[in-house]
């Protein structure tokens, strides 16, 4: 009963937050500020009709934001979005609400400092909000250190909350019953899957337990974040390079700090090769330790980004077919249906990719950790090889 | 423009590599269906490594 | 690459690290540990139950075998007892027969003995009578014809022949 109230209150709070954010918009500087929303200079909202606007929209979607936007119609100053707190380090902590930016339309003034939101980044500027550019069209304005609670931070917190409540519930179920029911029935096999198919074979039967916390958390975090990215909330957490760098950095740190003597020996003094080769191998192996997590972060980032780009391109192509192509209505409807069906297919594939990327990230993390903590028992390896060769011979004999 | 050509080359290379991995894995599974699980895991790991390189190349060229 | 580095937000990176590390510890304490522990204990329980079932099966088989052995033994014992009884019976019959025989033999021998003794007694009696008779005869003969020697002898001969039984 209490939980039902809690849920209602939570939903109501979110609703109020969004509606307030929405309500304050029309009262502000509707005429005071002349919004020039064109395709190239895409701010926080615009009608997305042309090809350039679609690609700008996609660019904008892939980036982090200071708003949690559900719907927007910028030409009418209509936003259903939650302005998030901005935290800047500019001669001390500067904290204010992102609603001051009015979706990038105005200059925010706080404690006598002026800040301008430009392409999702906050620049320090003057009262008029002038931004000067260098020859590469990059702003030359000073960027204060921005550690705001951005959209992705909110999404990360949301994913954490979802995970915590799902698995806390599962953990609680075990106190009263040995086989969980409800959502626990879905989650339990996944936990067992991560343990039996990812951790145990790759880290090792004896040592896997220590790393289960990281592996399970990273698996479900990436998976849930990927799935949230496919919902109409329009989040893109795992397609953000900073997030994947953070995840891969943890894998790297865990690998490095849990590595045993053998691991370092194989890096700095590879056994079984000539000493000249040993020296030659040192930089290669050292770079190898870095490329492994680098490949990890790039893979996750690129896969999710690519998926979002493809999906948005297909959806954008529907509006482009309507407005940008000089074709008849019937033909544009045909295009729309075609792209919609294609988008549905891509969404299904993305559902698979969402799981697959979580799986691969976890699997490779487990593999790297396993490499670092493995006992290199050379006698045993040779034995195993000998055994395998015998097997092959057996099979060949059987065939012959 | 050159970026796109590079991306195309990466796609070709990655495609050939993935085809090789997938094809060989299928052959291996057909030959020894009882080892399908192990082969799949190995296949996914190698495919993931290849994918990582391909994406790294794409991003470096971007 | 340039754009990627430009996109990299240090603030988000720090937030992500803080949230994620916090999440790992939180999940490890409140979720993963109890979940994995109960999964382990459940699997242990299943393994134990299977082992117990196997044990029970083994025990059952053992019991069955011992039951069969007991039945076998009982049957053997019964056979033994029957055999013994039969033996006893036979022995008793044999004993009885033997005793009866012995008794019969004894009776017969006693009878024979008594017959013998009767016979002997009778013979002795006869003998004594014969002796008396012969003495009587001899008396008579001696008294009557002691003068004629030839007649005497003839008489004696005759008497002896008569008296010879």
**pLDDT tens for each residue of C96-135:** 888 888 888 888 888 888 888 888 888 888 778 877 877 7
Residues 6+ apart with CB under 8 A from A387: none
**pLDDT tens for each residue of C66-86:** 999 999 999 999 999 999 999
A288 to chain B nearest CA, in Å? 12
Q: What is the pLDDT of residue C53?
A: 94
Domain assignment of residue C3, yes or no: no
Distance of CA B29 to the CA centre of its chain: 17
**pLDDT tens for each residue of A103-134:** 666 777 777 777 777 777 777 777 776 777 77
C55 to chain A nearest CA, in Å? 24
Record: contact A213-C24, CB cut-off 8 A: yes
The C-alpha angle A152, A154, A158, rounded to 5 degrees, equals 110
Residues of chain B neighbouring C1 (CB-CB closer than 8 A): 59-62
| Tokens 């003057």 belong to residue | A126
Instruction: Spell out the alpha helix ranges (H) of C28-148.
Output: 33-145
Looking at residue A107, the DSSP 8-state letter turns out to be -
The phi-psi region of residue A32 (left if phi > 0; otherwise alpha if psi is between -120 and 50; otherwise beta) is alpha
Q: What confidence category does residue C146 fall into, taking pLDDT thresholds of 50, 70 and 90?
A: low
**pLDDT tens for each residue of A127-157:** 776 777 776 667 777 777 888 888 889 999 9
Domain assignment of residue C32, yes or no: yes
Joined tokens for residue A336: 């729309």
Domain assignment of residue C158, yes or no: yes
Q: What is the pLDDT of residue A383?
A: 42
A124 near A143, Cβ under 8 Å? yes
Task: Name the residue range of residue C105's domain.
Answer: 12-164
Strands (E), chain A: 67-73, 78-83, 85-89, 93-97, 108-110, 113-118, 121-125, 145-146
Joined tokens for residue B37: 């699980």
Question: What ipTM was reported for this prediction?
Answer: 0.82
The long-range contacts involving A123-130, CB below 8 angstroms and separated by at least 24 positions, are: A124/A90
CB atoms within 10 A of CB C164: 7
Chains in contact with C, counting 3 or more C-beta pairs less than 8 Å apart as contact: A, B
Rounded CA separation A180/A166 (Å): 12
Going by C-alpha positions, the residue among A300, A214, A200, A227 that lies closest to residue A253 is A214
CB atoms within 10 A of CB C85: 10
Record: contact A167-C32, CB cut-off 8 A: yes
Domain count, chain C: 1
Arithmetic mean of pLDDT over chain A: 77
Residues of chain C neighbouring B59 (CB-CB closer than 8 A): 1, 4
Going by C-alpha positions, the residue among A184, A160, A259, A251 that lies closest to residue A214 is A251
Which three-class secondary structure state does DSSP give residue A341? Answer: helix
Going by C-alpha positions, the residue among A196, A230, A234 that lies closest to residue A347 is A230
Q: What is the dihedral of CA A225, A354, A356, A206, to 10 degrees?
A: 20
A276 near A270, Cβ under 8 Å? no
């Amino acid at each position: 009963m209490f939980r039902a109230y809690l849920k209602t209150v939570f939903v109501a709070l979110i609703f109020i937050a969004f509606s307030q954010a929405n309500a304050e918009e029309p009262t502000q500087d509707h005429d005071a500020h002349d919004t020039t929303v064109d395709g190239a200079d895409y701010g926080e909202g615009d009608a997305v009709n042309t090809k350039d606007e679609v690609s700008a929209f996609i660019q904008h979607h892939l980036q982090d934001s200071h708003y949690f936007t559900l719907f927007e119609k910028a030409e009418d100053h209509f936003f259903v979005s939650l302005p998030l707190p901005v935290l800047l380090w500019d001669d001390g902590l500067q904290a204010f609400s992102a609603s001051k930016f009015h979706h990038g339309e105005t200059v925010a003034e706080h404690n006598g400092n002026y800040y301008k939101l430009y392409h999702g980044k906050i620049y320090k500027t003057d009262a008029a909000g002038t931004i000067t550019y260098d020859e590469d069209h990059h702003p030359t304005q000073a960027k204060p250190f921005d550690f705001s609670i951005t959209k992705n931070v909110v999404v990360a917190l949301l994913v954490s909350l979802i995970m915590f409540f799902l698995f806390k519930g599962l953990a609680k179920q075990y106190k009263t019953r040995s086989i969980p029911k409800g959502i626990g029935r879905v989650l339990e096999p996944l936990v067992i899957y991560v343990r039996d198919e990812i951790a145990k074979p790759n880290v090792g039967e004896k040592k896997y337990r220590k790393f289960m916390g990281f592996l399970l958390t990273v698996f479900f975090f990436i998976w849930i974040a990927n799935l949230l990215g496919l919902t109409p909330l329009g989040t893109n957490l795992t397609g953000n390079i900073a997030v994947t760098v953070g995840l891969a950095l943890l894998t790297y740190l865990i690998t490095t700090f849990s590595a045993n003597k053998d691991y370092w020996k194989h890096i700095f003094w590879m056994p079984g090769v000539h000493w000249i080769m040993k020296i030659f191998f040192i930089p290669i192996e050292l770079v190898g330790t870095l490329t492994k997590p680098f490949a990890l972060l790039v893979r996750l980032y690129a896969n999710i980004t690519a998926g979002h780009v493809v999906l948005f391109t297909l959806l954008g192509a529907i509006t482009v077919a309507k407005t940008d192509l000089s074709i008849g209505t019937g033909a544009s409807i045909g295009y729309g249906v075609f792209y919609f069906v294609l988008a549905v297919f891509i969404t299904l594939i993305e559902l698979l990719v969402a799981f697959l990327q979580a799986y691969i990230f976890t699997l490779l993390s487990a593999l790297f950790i396993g490499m670092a903590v493995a006992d290199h028992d050379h006698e045993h390896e040779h034995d195993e090889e000998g055994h395998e060769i015998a097997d092959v011979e057996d099979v060949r004999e059987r065939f012959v | 423009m050159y970026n796109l050509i590079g991306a195309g080359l990466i796609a070709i290379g990655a495609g050939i590599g993935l085809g090789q991995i997938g094809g060989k894995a299928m052959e291996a599974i057909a030959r020894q269906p009882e080892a399908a699980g192990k082969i799949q895991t190995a296949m996914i790991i190698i495919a993931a490594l290849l994918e990582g390189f391909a994406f790294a190349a794409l991003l470096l060229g971007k | 690459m340039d754009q990627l580095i430009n996109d990299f937000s240090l603030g988000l990176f720090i937030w992500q690290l803080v949230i994620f590390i916090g999440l790992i510890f939180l999940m490890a304490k409140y979720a993963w540990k109890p979940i994995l522990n109960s999964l382990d204990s459940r699997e242990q329980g299943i393994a134990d139950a299977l082992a117990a079932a196997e044990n029970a099966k083994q025990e059952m088989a053992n019991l069955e075998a011992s039951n069969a052995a007991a039945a076998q033994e009982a049957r053997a014992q019964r056979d033994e007892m029957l055999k013994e009884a039969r033996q006893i019976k036979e022995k008793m019959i044999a004993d009885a027969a033997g005793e009866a025989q012995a008794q019969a033999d004894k009776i017969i021998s006693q009878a024979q003995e008594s017959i013998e003794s009767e016979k002997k007694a009778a013979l002795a009696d006869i003998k004594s009578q014969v002796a008396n008779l012969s003495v009587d005869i001899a008396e008579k003969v001696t008294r009557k014809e002691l003068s004629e020697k030839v007649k005497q002898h003839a008489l004696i001969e005759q008497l002896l022949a008569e008296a010879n039984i």
